[in-house]
Amino acid sequence: MSYAIEILGADNDEALRRGAWVVYVQADYGDEPAVALYTKLGTREDVMHFDIAVATPNDP
């Protein structure tokens, strides 16, 4: 069993313990091994992801 599947299995166990119904994972464009693995395990959604910096009190 691959390390990635072991981690996802642990995530699944924790999700069940917490009463979750889905686990979200992210793969970057070009990361074909991750995309292939996640495609086998779930449903693919194409979404937009934004990184918004958190302002600190010293920011202008």
32: helix, strand or coil = helix
Three-class secondary structure of residue 35 per DSSP: helix
Model pTM score: 0.61
- What pLDDT sits at residue 18? 87
CB 38 within 8 A of CB 27: yes
Q: Are 48 and 15 in contact (CB under 8 A)?
A: no
Report DSSP state, residue 54: P
State the amino acid at position 12 in one-letter form. Answer: N
Position 4 scores a pLDDT of 62
Asked if residues 12 and 42 have their Cβ atoms less than 8 Å apart, the reply is no
Q: pLDDT tens, 1-60?
A: 465 666 677 777 888 888 988 888 888 889 999 899 889 888 988 888 898 988 888 876
